[in-house]
Amino acid sequence: MSRETLQLVEYAAGLRYEDIPPDVLQAAKNTICDGIGACLFGFRLPWSQIITRYAAKTGAGGKSSVLGPGAAKLTPPLAALVNGALAHSFELDGAMRPGIGAHPYATIFPAALAIAQDNGSSGRQVLTAFVAATEVMLRIGRATKRSNERRGFHAPGTTGPFGAAIAAGLLLELDKDRLANAMGIAGSVASGLLQFSHGAKKGGMVKRLHFGRAAEGGVMAASMAADGFDGPHDILEGDAGFLRVYCDEFDLGELTRALGTRFITDEIYMKRFACHGSAQYPLQALRAIQVEQAISADSIEAIKVTATHELVERHGNRSPADLALAQYSVPFCVALGCIRDARDPRAFDDSALSDSRIRAMLARVTYVADEALQDPMGCEVTLRLKNGAVHKQALPPIPNGSSPRANRDQVYEKYSILTSDLPRAPMDEVFERVQTLEDQANLRWLAP
């Protein structure tokens, strides 16, 4: 009899801080620092403020912080909602490569933080819960084979509640039976549709909400389970469970593959640019050519980007109507990268949509499918210059498509850019305290 859901629950409940290798702990802390920077940067954005105002009206009076300057404290579910949305508010939070539709910081940490600040959990408990939840959620993501997205579901909104429920449940100290109930409840709050990326003229804001709702749903699921509410204990593998309902194809074996012997938390990668993962490699390739050849935008005649058919079909929008859709469009991001410094997220502001130089460059970008590519997120960028010269760069250069983890210094460099308009000393203190999270008595100091 298949019992994958319970195996994942037993693993999460049994994981101890001492079981986690130092490099995995460091990867988790780097991911959390990176995500906090993304929240702080995103707090001022108009869609973030809409969500924050809604939450303040409906969840005021709690102990849980919103990661934005001067924001009021909220009840745990609403704080998780806001911080999850903030984390993905500008396409800056870390994900996985190759993509599996899972964003550990944006869906898990907001739930963990909300519960921890409410009940006084220690930094060591939070770090352990984050790793345990990440190990569970990433395996669920792998099991879907991303076929849930081919059906039109936005994967982070559907896998995220499971990770959030595990993290929240562990910090609420649920026993295995109630933690399984939390997973069962989380399966019924999984949601998020990809219509915003399928020819919609507007509506990109809703993408940010999917992450917040995942975190909120996990907090709700764990909190209700703590009070005795139950849910199916075979929510992943059951006949009408998550994988069979949401996915056209799936691999049950991925749910427990190397569980307890191999940590995959250390495979989370840090985004270099404020755009969807599909544009990360093209922008890296473009920048490599620009730096090596000292190419100016005015010298470019044409740009050709090749990627898989799935990426071209989903991320080829040539006339994005809003900023969220622009960040989802590979041709637009590449055109922007020719004109502006894409390493600074401020380059992706509203003016980019009407920038005549970016629009002119966009007309020179072609985005075509090449099924010979081995990596599902891989690409090749070809620049043809007006003088006839041609320069090419393919990524990833590593055969298995893996992406080197960002180290502490690289994470701080990005974090400092994201928080550059906030007081430096308190921002650096937050960074350093997260880097020693296991030594923190609680997380109530995390309230910018």
Domain boundaries, the chain: 4-270+405-439, 277-395
Q: In CATH, what is the architecture of 277-395?
A: 2-Layer Sandwich (3.30)
Averaged over 22-35, what is the pLDDT? 97
Which pLDDT value is given to residue 334?
98
Task: Give the list of residues 6+ apart from residue 254 with CB closer than 8 angstroms, or none.
Answer: 139, 142, 143
SS3 101: coil
**What ranges in 227-355 are assigned the alpha helix state H?**
242-246, 280-293, 309-315, 323-327, 330-339, 351-354
Residue 150 and residue 168: Cα distance in Å, rounded? 29
The bridge status of strand 365-369 relative to strand 268-269 is: unpaired
**pLDDT of 208 above 60:** yes
Query: Residue 1 — pLDDT band, cuts 50, 70, 90?
Result: low
Handedness of CA 377, 383, 384, 390 (dihedral sign): negative
Which pLDDT value is given to residue 199?
63
Is the domain covering 4-270+405-439 a CATH 3.30.1280.10 domain?
no
Which pLDDT value is given to residue 133?
98
Query: Residue 401 — pLDDT band, cuts 50, 70, 90?
Result: very low
Which one-letter DSSP state was computed for residue 153?
Answer: B
pLDDT digits (tens, 9 = 90+) for 214-230: 999 999 999 999 999 99
Averaged over 435-447, what is the pLDDT? 97
Which pLDDT value is given to residue 402?
47
Q: Is-same-fold flag (4-270+405-439; 277-395)?
A: no
**pLDDT of 138 above 90:** yes
Residue 124 and residue 365: Cα distance in Å, rounded? 48
The region, left, alpha or beta by phi > 0 then psi within -120 to 50, assigned to residue 410 is alpha
The residue ranges of DSSP E strands in 60-141, in sequence order, are 60-64, 74, 95-96
Which pLDDT value is given to residue 202?
77
Long-range CB contacts (within 8 A, 24+) of 423-428: 427/40
pLDDT digits (tens, 9 = 90+) for 264-321: 999 998 999 999 989 999 999 999 999 988 899 999 999 999 999 989 998 999 999 8
| Residue where the block lists tokens 């990326």 | 197
Q: Taking all residues of the chain, what is their mean pLDDT, rounded to a whole number? A: 94
Task: Give the list of residues 6+ apart from residue 1 with CB closer than 8 angstroms, or none.
Answer: none
Which pLDDT value is given to residue 204?
83
Which pLDDT value is given to residue 321?
87
**pLDDT of 403 above 70:** no
Which pLDDT value is given to residue 378?
86
**pLDDT of 404 above 90:** no
Residue 349 and residue 282: Cα distance in Å, rounded? 20
Cis omega (within 30 of 0) for bond into 161: no
pLDDT digits (tens, 9 = 90+) for 100-123: 878 999 999 999 999 999 999 999
Which pLDDT value is given to residue 310?
86
Which pLDDT value is given to residue 399?
46
* H/E segment holding residue 137: helix 123-144
Which pLDDT value is given to residue 376?
80
